[in-house]
């Protein structure tokens, strides 16, 4: 029961809409040269100088925090978050055959993006992420199954997309990577690109459903950051979505996982 609360379509574009043909790696940051940029960031743990942190933004924590762990992302998410069940539930709730444009915010390695396009091939599907390494994985997935998906390298707080472009915006395990200020900015941008009456679907960490889920979520908080997961452990994500401009926010389902409680939310923009 719901609770209220181009020429190369698979090429990665940058925020200006140009194709990124360089494939140049973003220079990694190390514990030695990294310094927090503002009060939203927690103090970085002391790490060996030769361990690459791999931040690609001053506004969020990348997948699994460390660049060296990125190749393991798909396997870890698949084994620990009930990925197939949660993402299929999101697709079933969000996408219908009359949906024309879907934007996947923080698409990461593209698992959800590709699944949507495979099941709804007539829809325009756009994946947006700032992490060039993860977008590379997403691009390979689209090429392996010969799907026409648009991938854009951009910051979720400044989406290079037109107002009211999307019928649906979806996101999976993304918003908890953002620091509080950027989380609010990204949600506001999400509402901007949604068409009137459009819907946002978010699968992300929510308030732990019991003490066990709270304990299991703590390692995730340590890895991904205490400040940017605070709103999630307090169950405040629906409130933040409402503040960003949603007319109504519903919790569609909760899933107990080995790392805590995942919540599937639906938000509707006023028509």
pLDDT in tens, 67-108: 667 777 799 999 999 999 999 999 999 999 999 999 999 999
Q: Is residue 245 part of a domain?
A: yes
Tell me, yes or no, whether 14 lies in a domain. Answer: no
Beta strands 194-205 and 260-269, pairing class: antiparallel
pLDDT 10s digits, 2-17: 444 333 445 566 654 5
Instruction: Tell me if 194 is assigned to some domain.
Output: yes
Judge whether residue 246 has pLDDT over 50.
yes
**Percent of the chain scoring above 70 in pLDDT:** 75
Look at residue 57 and tell me if it is in a domain: no
Q: Binning pLDDT at 50, 70 and 90, where does residue 1 land?
A: very low
Angle between helices 226-233 and 211-224 (to 10 degrees): 150
Residue range(s) defining the domain that contains residue 234: 76-269
> Taking Cα atoms as reference points, which of 121, 129, 215 lies closest to residue 173?
129
Per-residue pLDDT tens digits for 254-267:
999 999 999 999 99
**Quick one: pLDDT at residue 146?**
84
**At residue 212, does pLDDT exceed 70?**
yes
In total, how many domains does the chain have?
1
Nearest to 234 by CA among 263, 202, 266, 258: 263
d(CA 229, CA 213): 14
50, part of any domain:
no
Evaluate whether residue 11 is within a structural domain.
no
Condensed to tens digits (0 to 9), the pLDDT of residues 214-240 reads: 999 999 999 888 999 999 999 999 999
Mean pLDDT of the chain: 82
Residue 71 lies in a domain: no
Residue 72 confidence (pLDDT): 78
List the strands of the sheet with 166-172, edge to edge: 3-4, 246-257, 260-269, 194-205, 166-172, 101-105, 124-129, 150-153, 12-13
Task: For residue 119, give the CATH number of its domain.
Answer: 3.40.50.150
Would you put residue 9 in left (φ > 0), alpha (ψ -120 to 50) or beta? alpha
pLDDT of residue 44: 32
In percent, the amount of the chain with pLDDT more than 90 equals 68
For the segment 38-70, what is each residue's pLDDT rounded down to a tens digit? 333 333 333 333 333 333 345 556 665 656 677
Asked, for residue 140, whether it belongs to a domain, the answer is yes
**pLDDT for 144:** 83
């Amino acid at each position: 029961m719901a609770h209220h609360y181009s020429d190369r379509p698979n090429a990665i574009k940058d925020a200006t809409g140009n194709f990124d043909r360089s494939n140049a790696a973003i220079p990694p940051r190390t514990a030695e040269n990294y310094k927090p940029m503002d009060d939203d960031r927690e103090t970085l743990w002391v790490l060996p100088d030769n361990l690459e942190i791999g931040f690609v933004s001053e506004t969020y924590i990348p997948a699994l925090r460390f660049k060296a762990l990125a190749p393991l992302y798909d396997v870890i998410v698949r084994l620990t978050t009930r990925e197939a069940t949660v993402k299929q539930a999101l697709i079933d709730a969000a996408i219908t055959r009359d949906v024309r444009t879907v934007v996947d915010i923080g698409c990461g390695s593209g698992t959800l993006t590709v699944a949507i396009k495979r099941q709804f091939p007539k829809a325009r599907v756009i994946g947006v992420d700032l992490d060039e390494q993860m977008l590379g994985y997403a691009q390979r997935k689209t090429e392996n199954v010969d799907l026409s998906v648009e991938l854009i390298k951009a910051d979720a707080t400044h989406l290079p997309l037109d107002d009211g472009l999307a019928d649906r915006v979806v996101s999976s395990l993304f918003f908890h990577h953002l620091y509080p200020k950027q989380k609010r900015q990204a949600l506001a941008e999400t509402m901007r690109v949604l068409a009137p009456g459009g819907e946002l679907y978010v699968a992300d960490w929510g308030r732990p459903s019991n003490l066990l889920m709270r304990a299991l979520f703590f390692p995730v908080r340590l890895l991904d950051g205490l400040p940017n997961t605070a709103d999630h452990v307090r169950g405040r994500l629906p409130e933040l979505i409402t503040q960003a401009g949603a007319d109504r926010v519903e919790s569609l389902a909760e899933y107990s996982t080995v790392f805590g409680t995942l919540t599937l939310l639906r938000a509707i923009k006023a028509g």
